[in-house]
Amino acid sequence: MKKLVLAYSGGLDTSYCATSLSQEGYEVHAVSVDTGGFSKEELQEIEKNAFKMGVTSYHTIKATDSYYQKVIKYLIFGNVLKNNTYPLSVSAERIIQALELIKYAKNINAKFIAHGSTGAGNDQVRFDMIFQILAPDIQIITPIRDQKLTRKEEIEYLKFNGIDLSWEKSKYSVNKGLWGTSVGGDETLTSHQALPEEAYPSQLQKSEPEQLKLSFKSGELTAVNGQKNDAVSLIKQISEMASAFAIGRDIHVGDTIVGLKGRVGFEASAALILIKAHHLLEKHTLTKWQLQHKDFLSSYYGMHLHEGHYLDPVMRDIEAFLESSQTKVSGEVYVTLKPYRFELEGIASENDLISSKFGSYGEYNSAWSAEEAKGFIKILANSQKIYQQTNSDS
Q: For residues 184 and 186, what is the distance between their CA atoms, to the nearest angstrom? A: 7
Answer yes or no: is pLDDT of 97 > 80: yes
pLDDT at residue number 169: 67
pLDDT at residue number 166: 79
pLDDT at residue number 289: 97
Q: Percent of the chain having pLDDT more than 70?
A: 97
Cα three-residue angle 147-100-233, rounded to 5 degrees: 120
Q: Percent of the chain having pLDDT more than 90?
A: 84
Q: For residues 220 and 230, what is the distance between their CA atoms, to the nearest angstrom? A: 10
Render pLDDT for 236-277 as a digit per residue (tens, 0 to 9).
Answer: 999 999 999 999 999 999 898 989 899 999 999 999 999 999
Render pLDDT for 270-327 as a digit per residue (tens, 0 to 9).
Answer: 999 999 999 999 999 999 999 999 999 999 999 999 999 999 999 999 999 999 999 9
Q: For residues 225 and 363, what is the distance between their CA atoms, to the nearest angstrom? A: 34
Q: For residues 103 and 95, what is the distance between their CA atoms, to the nearest angstrom? A: 12
Render pLDDT for 324-381 as a digit per residue (tens, 0 to 9).
Answer: 999 999 999 999 999 999 999 999 999 999 976 666 666 677 778 889 999 999 999 9
pLDDT at residue number 270: 97
Q: Which amino acid is at 220?
A: E
Q: Which of 242, 243, 208 is nearest to 224 (CA)?
A: 242
pLDDT at residue number 258: 87
Q: What is the CATH number of domain 2-160?
A: 3.40.50.620
Q: Average pLDDT of 216-231?
A: 98
3-state SS assignment for residue 20: helix
pLDDT at residue number 394: 60
Cβ(216)–Cβ(331) below 8 Å: yes
Answer yes or no: is pLDDT of 45 > 70: yes
pTM of the model: 0.93
pLDDT at residue number 360: 66
Run of H or E including 174: strand 173-177
pLDDT at residue number 359: 61
Cβ(58)–Cβ(18) below 8 Å: no
DSSP state of 169: P
May I ask the CATH class of domain 204-248+265-286+328-348?
A: alpha beta
Q: Domain segments of the chain: what residues?
A: 2-160, 204-248+265-286+328-348, 356-390
Tell me, letter by letter, the H, E, C secondary structure of 23-81: HCCEEEEEEEEECCCCCHHHHHHHHHHHHHCCCCEEEEEECHHHHHHHHHHHHHHCCCC
Render pLDDT for 153-177 as a digit per residue (tens, 0 to 9).
Answer: 999 999 999 888 877 666 888 889 9
- Return mean pLDDT, the chain: 94
